Amino acid sequence: MAERRLKGLPAAPGTAAGPARVLTAARATAGTVPAADRADELETARNALAAAGAELDLLAGRLRADGRADEAEIVATGALMAADPALEDAVERHTTAGLPAAAAVLEACGEHADAIAAIGDERLAARAEDVRSLGRRAARLAQEPGAAPAALDPRSDPVVLVADDLGPADVAELDDAVVAVALAAGAPTGHAAVVARGLGIPLAVGLGSALLEARAGEQVAVDGDAGTAVLSPSAATLAAARAGHRRLTAERARSAADRGLPAVTLDGRSVRVLVNAATVPELDAGLAAGAEGVGLLRTELAFLDARRWPDEAAHRRLLAPLLARLHGRTATVRVLDFGGDKVPPFLNGTSLRGLALLLAVPDALASQLRAIAAQGAATELRILLPIAERPEDVDSVRAMLAYIAPALRVSIGAMVETVAAVERAGELAQAADFLSIGTNDLAHAATGSDRFAPGSAVTPVHDPRVLTLVARTAEAARAAGVLLEVCGDAASDPVAVPLLVGLGVDELSVGAAQVGRVRAWIRGLDHTAAQRVARAALALPGAAYVEALVAQAGDAAGEGRDGRGSVVPVGPQP
């Protein structure tokens, strides 16, 4: 059978493959319960809710014992929901109307979830699916009182869990035999995704109803970085997914062992490796792997379903648990980067993006700046401005911040993501305290392609046209005496890393799963050699020539002998 590739959204990093374990949704019994039996159905429904709450309490306790307090808190909230009087009243109403216990629980939880989702509070929005998950759990218990979740034999072959959707508790209680999860529905910002990232389980969501056509035992390959699942993968696809899983497992073990080693090149050049994060589990995983702080804290992802600009309280709720973990460390908070492919409903039709959009709504920007100042005072705080093209815009934000928090010590960074920003990089470097290159946007800007167009080809940063823009930005940063960071995908690309370091980048900010790998790469680099390779790459006619140059330099340096060499070779590391 030919492989079927399904495209969804990345939710938790990593790749893995195995036979499908297809989880079917709870289905309530049809029909109307006779009036004489309805009191018994109500009792069954109440007991099922109580049992579901008890299961979640036990699971939360296990997570706490494992040192996973944040995941435990998410799961424990589900237990509190099970005892909500409003939910119990709804269950009673539906059983009194004649619904069987399981159907009454599902209907009541569905109504409760819809009501939460309709409030419009971003903090509560993720709870809606948690309530639905509670309903599925209680419905199962109503149909099979005393039944425990189906477990796999841990000695069995690794499997991929395939389902329509899962709640955070469902993910937290997965067996060791589950190496990845593929969901037809779900969202990258949902609590199930948060728990999956914290537990290191690759997850792709939003894969569509075609995923549910998978047969039990059919091979499935999941790529949580790309957000894809492949049904009946070819031998090559299957081997690549399994190899990726082995690499990730080995890298995590090495990262844990090497987190105390500095990210310094063989000839003494220090390159800070920071983590990109939007959630607590991502942040914790990055710090555990040796990240020296956060180089990009994405604040907009939590508000993509918002119906209005988030207020100061909403920003505080998002930032508090994250910045509390960064006491005394670098915390680079990017202000809302709406626009492009990140447009909440209330901004549909806007042509503005990034800093220009925020400056057009100064009250919204001020609310976020107040929250950042309040929550980040104990950190080495940096505020990052997206799509910054004009030094006067940086000056405007600095003046606003000085008015809001005159005593706050904070660095302001300008993101260089367009050709126009590169052309004024010298002025931006004079206005800002540091520069940060968003390589994903800059790569497309360099070639005139539309990053958000369907089927748009990926432009590699090692294309000489893009490298030239990076080199010009690096020169501007050096001339102004400010540091230069890269926070796009290129910061963890094996071809781009030696080139970026050779061009003078001071910091690389990468996904949590890449922190240990990139730190190891830095320790295997010779900075002087990387400078030579980077200068030579600028003069080449295309990306393929640059790839060959980097590979040749790695071979010449004897890459592979004890993992040390002067440049990082093309391709993933063993």
CA dist 350 and 339 (Å) reads 7
Sign of CA dihedral 160, 163, 166, 169: negative
Q: What is the pLDDT of residue 24?
A: 67
Q: By the 8 A CB rule, do 366 and 359 touch? A: no
**Whole-number Å distance between alpha carbons of 171 and 191:** 9
Which residues in the chain show pLDDT less than 50? 148-156, 452-456, 559-564, 572-574
Q: Which residue has the tokens 């392609």?
A: 449
User: What pLDDT does 192 receive?
Assistant: 75
**Residue 11: which H helix or E strand, with range?**
strand 9-12
User: Is 112 assigned a catalytic role?
Assistant: no
What confidence score (pLDDT) does residue 187 get? Answer: 78
| Domains along the chain with CATH numbers | 1-245 (3.50.30.10), 269-510 (3.20.20.60)
The SS3 of residue 306 is coil
191 is catalytic: yes
Q: What angle do CA 337, 339, 342 make, to 5 degrees?
A: 80
How is residue 5 written in tokens?
């590739």
- Of 245, 444, 462, 487, the active-site residue reads 487
For the entire predicted model, the pTM comes to 0.67
Of 274, 183, 275, 336, the closest CA to residue 193 belongs to 183
User: Which residues does 219 contact at the CB level (< 8 Å), separation at least 6?
Assistant: 17, 18, 19, 20, 231, 232, 233, 238
Q: Check residue 154 and give its pLDDT.
A: 39
Residue 469 CB partners (closer than 8 Å, separation 6+): 419, 422, 442, 445, 446
Query: In this structure, what is the dihedral angle of CA atoms 14, 298, 445, 396, given to the nearest 10 degrees?
Result: -170
Res 120: pLDDT: 57
Please pick, among 94, 109, 112, 191, the residue that the annotation labels catalytic: 191
Sheet containing 9-12: order of strands: 4-7, 228-231, 219-223, 15-22, 159-163, 178-183, 203-205, 9-12
User: What's the CA gap between 433 and 385, in Å, rounded?
Assistant: 11
| DSSP string for 194-252 | HHHHHHT--EEE---GGGGGPPTT-EEEEETTTTEEEES--HHHHHHHHHHHHHHHHHH
Rg (CA), the chain: 25
